[in-house]
Structure 1
Amino acid sequence: MIDDMLRTPEAIRDAERWTAHNYHPLPVVISSAEGSWLTDVDGRRYLDCLAGYSALNFGHRHPTLIAAAHAQLDRLTLTSRAFVHDQFADFCRELAELCRKDLVLPMNTGAEAVETGIKVARKWGYQVKGVAPGQANIVVAEGNFHGRTTTIVSFSTDEDARADFGPYTPGFTVVPYGDLDALAAAIDENTVAVLIEPIQGEQGVVVPPEGYLPGVRRVCTEQNVLFIADEIQSGLGRTGDTFACDHEGVTPDMYLLGKALGGGIVPVSAVAANADVLGVLRPGQHGSTFGGNPLACAVATEVVRLLATGEFQRRSTELGARLHAGLRSLVGRGLVAVRGRGLWAGLDIDPALMSGREACERLAERGVLAKDTHGATIRLAPPLVITEEEIDHAVAQLAAVLAG
């Protein structure tokens, strides 16, 4: 089926021959991209409905971001944090203002931002809250996906991500996602933070019950616990607001950001919090050679400026409504359920029809690229530059796949 579509299977075989098999990609070999569209090595075009797991919120090769990268490449790319470069202050200030926080700590990958958040929360717990040495605990949610480092997979409930990577890092308590009572009951005198995704992306774009996030904020405030929001996938315009937390008027103590912050050009992540939290760090206690490098800062500053206009948040809201209306029309016609917010959707396919993987293969045959997760679920996260016509095209191709 899918093999009939490929005219260059040797590229797939070469990739499998020379790389560890930690991914199972669709057999498509991409060579160029622009906006919402990808082109393979044979010239066939595909509508991108994954956007690099939200790393490409502004589309492929956004001209403003590409121009910033080109200009910086001609000047300076790396100094390390041993010195200050001329792009650093603007990036940190403008991102802090976007987040309504005092301070920013730049890193590279989303997992690094999560690890940074964990370290800062523990240090805050010992130095500010007065938790006994070595006893800090962080409450997390079932179905979470915060990255793949050893510490992070220690509190994953996904056996594919966790199994056979022990011994595991202690200091985490797992509670059901969306259950405020369970979360409150898990907090004790040694709890330093609650770490959650405002919307669980990898789990299938799971939106928590209304009132859950304000409840988390209230409980954390009452118990003197940090509320850490992992907005690495859900943030930066994806859901129709700058942050997914904004939909319920919630401001966490700490934002974890990544993916779209690098504009799909360079890996950029950051932790944003006030000085009473991030201020616990001192020189030598945390760092990164590449974190906050000039090239990353030049691109990410333009990302922040694009978000500051509000244009992409509006596009996500308006076009997301069109996407979800189209998808809901397929419930009962091959889809069991549709979830999400803005230009982000999780679709549960009737497992009697096909798996999520098979659906994605059939979509690829029709020129639409998406990603499956957890059996019969598909995630859609197109770039925010997608058009109404392109959304309608994606929905039509999905309808044709479901109709067989």
Structure 2
Amino acid sequence: MKTITGINLILLVSSVLGEEVCRDVDSGWNICETDHTINRIEDKNAIFKTVLPVDLTSDTTVGENIFSTPKLEHLYLRFPYISKQNRSSAHSLTLLPNSFAGLPRLEKLNIENTNLRFTKGNTWASVGSLTKLHLRRCNLLEVPTGMLESMPSIEELTLEDNEITALHPHDFTPLKKLKELDVSSNKITTIAPGTFDGLNRLRELDLSFNAFPATPELLKGLSLLKELRLSKCFDDNGFQPHVFQEVPHLEKLQIAFNNITRLTPGMFDGLFSLRELSLYGNKIREVPTGVFERLRYVKEISLADNDIEKIVPGAFGFLELDNLILSLNRQLKTILTDTFRGLTVRRLSLAKCHITTLEPKAFNITRVTRMLDLTENFLTEVGTNDFAGLKTKDLDLSQNPIRKIAQDAFKDTDLKRLGLFGTYVKITDRAKLGLEETVEIMK
């Protein structure tokens, strides 16, 4: 402890006197500073010569021509995390015109948790090789278009969790090769028409956690977009399905936490290529027919944590899914007869839904190739025809207060394993319940 205290005291005194202080920052990398200005970063037999993480704890200036590390490909400049409420107290990072000179192979630059400042002159002229730029929690008030003009090779841009309030036409014009854009968790209230014009290669866009209007031409110019995240991002007028008219080739769509109350037939019909759809955390009360049946390529649908009270039989038609997630719908008391008729799915989750009643043949002509998860509901018994017509590998009824299973309850059910952990039933006669002797009971 005395040794550590002595080292810290030497560093403090040296800093006060304006002397250069050097320290090992990561497995053979050496950083030297004078008065909070980085003068040199050197490779002292670094184990990883292409990646350098630098953790900073006070206001810092990155000096000019400090690198002599031509093999460096990934550079991380990180300050301690500061919550949004205390962002004004973040330490500053000042960059000079030649702060990144000497890095001809730099591909990824990540700067986090700071007040990012630039002096006059082109700080970025020497990093034209960058393909990935992440500026998270840097207190940016707008898209740094001037900076981006020097980075024509950028393919991945993250401006997550800044203070940006608007997106304008030409903000991203310099980035002709851009494939991924993340401007989530800002304060964006305006996205002007034409903002995304020219981004013909963009495939992934995250606009989540902002508050802008759902205008019809919001996504104009993104006709080849594949992945779109729009969670909790609309103003008081809410979500409108017409925002999808400009992005017909979407494969992944996330519109969670948007206070959506109704699913309307045909609302996703224009998204013929959709493979994953998340409506997690909305306020949907009913799942009608005609919403998903034209999504012939969809493999995953999540309606978890809504307020679903009713699933109209046939709502999922004859879809073939990997996952159908309906868990955490605490108003879903009853599963109606033929609710999932014709559905083929690898995993169907109805966990934690407060289900008390399964109508006869609720899962009639339903094929669940891996698991039907009904755990942590309020089922007290299994009736004769509750699971009639179901074909599955695993049926998990664990953590339900089940006290009774009717005679021949599983006579018309094809299953391999039955989960009964945390229930009150004891099975002594499989044949009486209609179970094959080969069925494994998990209890």
Length-normalised TM-score, structure 2: 0.18
Length-normalised TM-score, structure 1: 0.19
Per residue, is there more helix in 1 or in 2?
1
Per residue, is there more strand in 1 or in 2?
2
